[in-house]
Amino acid sequence: MIEVVDVSKVYGPTPEEQVVALQGVSLSIKQGEFVSLIGASGCGKTTLLKILDGLIRPSQGRVEIDGNLVTGPGPDRAVVFQDFALMPWANVIENVAFGLSVRGVPKRERMDISAEHIAQVGLVGFETKNPGQLSGGMQQRVGLARALAVKPQILLMDEPFGSLDAQTRHLMQEDLLGMLEEENLTVVFVTHDMDEAVYLSDRVAIMSPRPGRVVEVLDVDLPESGSAEGRRSPEFLELTNYIWEKLRDAVRQQEEMSA
């Protein structure tokens, strides 16, 4: 469904100052798949996600969705942001209805659809609250409801649970899987947490920085996750350890660079 063909992204005015955020990335994502992009900071995973959404144009290469070239954001894709990106001046239901409103959906319809998705993410009763009155986990649920409300085919999630504490994060991961059972979405999920990647995904694309590229794509062949025990099974640990081995050197290098 999604074809990433030899995508490169370079920043910088002159060759000396250039940063190669992505180099020669190719990836195929099937319909209905849950694919994680994992890697140390600077590996280009967020850049790749933005290119998939059409927010950034690649310097080279292209992205095709069902054969159509991606040139900008579109109704088939929706993003969930790490910092929630909610409008503080609007309440929950207005935030959820945002994408629909931009598209010109009439008010009655937008409010009905939004109410549905607010219930789906478990925020009934909070429709008239402002984001400032909600906890981090609740705010991200609003972000999720907003993305689901526009009925995308592809959900692009940029470290959505990165700002949440570990307990809330676990809960959100379980809830996300639960929600996705009902939908037929293709999900591209950026994270730096191996546990999260293995828990949620069908496949994990391990990325490496300088230059940003995909090093390996793992198949996650675990029995249907959704239980706490699933996170501790030998197969789970094997996978997460393998990913960590691949990432460790890159992460250490990043540490040393920023020290």
Helix or strand run (H / E) with residue 197: helix 194-200
The tokens for 239 are 């996978």
SS3 state at 237: helix
| Stretch 140-159 residues interacting with another protein (CB under 8 A) | 146, 150
Verify binding: residue 78, another protein, rule CB under 8 A.
yes
Nearest Cα neighbor of 122 from 168, 70, 158 is: 168
Spell out the residues 6+ positions from residue 56 whose beta carbon is closer than 8 angstroms to its own: 9, 47, 50
How many residues does the structure list for the chain?
259
- Residue number with CB closer to another protein (15 or 132): 132
Verify binding: residue 130, another protein, rule CB under 8 A.
yes
Q: What radius of gyration do the chain's Cα atoms show?
A: 19
Nearest distance from residue 216's CB to another protein, in Å?
29
Out of 93, 134, 187, 220, name the contact with another protein by CB under 8 A. Answer: 134
Contact (Cβ atoms closer than 8 angstroms) between residue 77 and residue 53 = yes
- Residue number with CB closer to another protein (31 or 133): 133
Out of 30, 31, 73, 244, name the contact with another protein by CB under 8 A. Answer: 73
Verify binding: residue 75, another protein, rule CB under 8 A.
yes
Nearest distance from residue 38's CB to another protein, in Å?
22
Q: Which residues contact another protein (rule: CB under 8 A)?
A: 50, 53, 55, 73-75, 77-79, 81, 83, 85, 87-90, 98-99, 101-103, 130, 132-135, 138, 146, 150
